[in-house]
Amino acid sequence: MAAAASVEAFPRQKRQTRSETMLKIAMITNHPPPFRIPVYEKIAQMPDIDLQLIFCSMREPNRQWKLPPLNFDHVFLQERFIARGDNFIHHNFDVIPVLNRFAPDVVVTTGFNPTYLYAFAYALAKGAAHVPMTDGTDASEESLSRWHKAIRRFVYRRSQSFISASIGGRRLYESYGIPSRRCFESCLCINNEVYMNAPADDEKPFDFLFCGRVVEGKNPLFALNVAEDAARRLGRRMRILFVGSGEQEEAIRQEALLRCDLVEAEFNGFASQHELPALYRSARIFLFPTLADVWGVVANEACAAGLPVIVSPYAGVANELVLDGENGFVCELDVSLWSELAALLLSQPAVYQRFSRRSSAIAGQYTFEHAAAGVVAACRSALVQDKPGRNLTPSESAGLG
């Protein structure tokens, strides 16, 4: 468990001078990830929106990112969480007085930690609209316990609109009987232009790039094995760049030494946001062999940099951002299959260029403006729904029952 002082770091005068007719949105989330901060800023800049972000913590212990200035109204709650592996269960009791002071029209919650349930209870008690928001998918939540699913049914039945990050998230809501007309999308995205316009070495010194935490769930050893098998197929030494840090880093270094006749592996370690574009542009193919990712923003970065992506079917980007046979390949975790596809891309320049151009084009559809518009559309729609618990048709109620 951790505790820290509450911080409110945005001038409250801005909100106090705004019109009473503005739509007041309170969004509660774990912490401010860099790729979501521009979305919050876009929403806050809308002339008829009064937004307050309420963060459970400044940064969870397993994150290394450095936060830029937060140019929107926000509050950091007193940090209280229980760590379970890489998961952090937040229970910030002070979310209620923060919500009372702001008095939102709409409360957006991004999960089911106790803090979010406190905020949901506030919305019910005050008659504010409630909008759940998730990065999850029907696949990522398939194995949830009956208890977890029961909580979701309870909350969803009393919510007005729903926000997902992907088509998989929409399928998740529909599996609970939520009609598609009440579902809105706020995509996960990055600053595409920074990656598209980063200086690039035409020679691209690395054949492969692995970027992410170097931990078992991200499967870095698989990426190394793919590079080794591709070297055998193409009859030359492969170069792979590992960007990131984690508990398996030393083990992967040792494994790389055992393969040094076929693979030259370079380890960059953790990279800051401004370093990433050039690192992506130094490689030809992005390997994303995750065992489980509800989305995978690293794939946004790779696509924006023009890299074809080979991804496992266990990432949310599979068949949404990464389209099999168009800008990459979606395939099971079979080293031989991955290396065969990699060899195809590395040995056929015309195919590679077609995939590369398609990656950039698809990534360009995932923008901060699109993400911000999805949140606001869901909140506006929530206000025109019926009162909590009375906005479902009999068939919809049956689906949630």
The amino acid present at 93, given as its one-letter code, is F
Asked if 39 contacts 186 with a C-beta cutoff of 8 angstroms, the reply is: yes
Asked if 156 contacts 125 with a C-beta cutoff of 8 angstroms, the reply is: no
- Quick one: residue 244, left, alpha or beta (phi over 0 = left, psi -120 to 50 = alpha)? left
CA atoms of 193 and 13, how far apart (whole Å): 34
pLDDT of residue 60: 55
- In the three-class reduction of DSSP (H, G, I as helix; E, B as strand; rest coil), residue 309 is classed as strand
327 and 178 fall within a common domain: no
Looking at the DSSP bridge assignments, the partners of residue 106 are 25, 129
**Where does residue 50 rank: exposed (0-12), middle (13-18), buried (19+ CB within 10 A)?**
buried
Name, in order, each residue with C-beta under 8 angstroms of 85's C-beta and a sequence gap of 6 or more: none
Asked whether residue 1 is assigned to any structural domain, the reply reads: no
CA atoms of 317 and 337, how far apart (whole Å): 19
Looking at the DSSP bridge assignments, the partners of residue 55 are 29, 76
261 and 244 fall within a common domain: yes
Q: Say how many C-beta atoms besides its own lie within 10 A of residue 343's C-beta.
A: 17
pLDDT of residue 18: 45
Asked whether residue 118 is assigned to any structural domain, the reply reads: yes
Radius of gyration in angstroms for the set of CA atoms belonging to the chain, rounded to a whole number = 22
376 and 309 fall within a common domain: no
**Cα angle at 340 between 246 and 349, to 5 degrees?**
100
State pLDDT tens for residues 298-315. 999 999 999 999 999 999
Extract the runs of DSSP E, i.e. beta strands, from 223-354: 238-243, 263-269, 283-288, 309-311, 328-330
Asked whether residue 166 is assigned to any structural domain, the reply reads: yes
383 and 283 fall within a common domain: no
Alpha helix (H) residue ranges in 45-113 = 95-102
Q: Say how many C-beta atoms besides its own lie within 10 A of residue 304's C-beta.
A: 27
204 and 114 fall within a common domain: no
How many distinct structural domains can be found in the chain? 2
Asked whether residue 59 is assigned to any structural domain, the reply reads: yes
142 and 153 fall within a common domain: yes
388 and 348 fall within a common domain: no
Structure tokens at 322: 């990464």
- Any idea what the CATH number is for the domain that residue 103 is in? 3.40.50.2000
Q: Render 254-273 in DSSP notation, one character per residue.
A: HHHHHTTTTEEEEEEES--T
378 and 259 fall within a common domain: no
Which residues of the chain fall short of a pLDDT of 70? 1-20, 59-65, 81-82, 84-86, 201, 386-401
CA atoms of 231 and 389, how far apart (whole Å): 60
179 and 201 fall within a common domain: no
338 and 379 fall within a common domain: no
19 and 167 fall within a common domain: yes
E strand or H helix that includes residue 344 = helix 335-347
CA atoms of 101 and 126, how far apart (whole Å): 12
324 and 376 fall within a common domain: no
pLDDT of residue 198: 86
Asked if 143 contacts 120 with a C-beta cutoff of 8 angstroms, the reply is: no
pLDDT of residue 32: 87
Domain that holds residue 229: 192-363
The amino acid present at 229, given as its one-letter code, is D
Asked whether residue 73 is assigned to any structural domain, the reply reads: yes
CA of 373: how far to CAs of 192, 297, 314, in Å?
Answer: 17, 19, 28
State pLDDT tens for residues 356-399. 999 999 999 999 999 999 999 999 999 997 444 444 443 343 34
Asked whether residue 2 is assigned to any structural domain, the reply reads: no
- Helices (H) and strands (E) counted in the chain, each on its own, are 15, 16
pLDDT of residue 214: 96
pLDDT of residue 21: 79
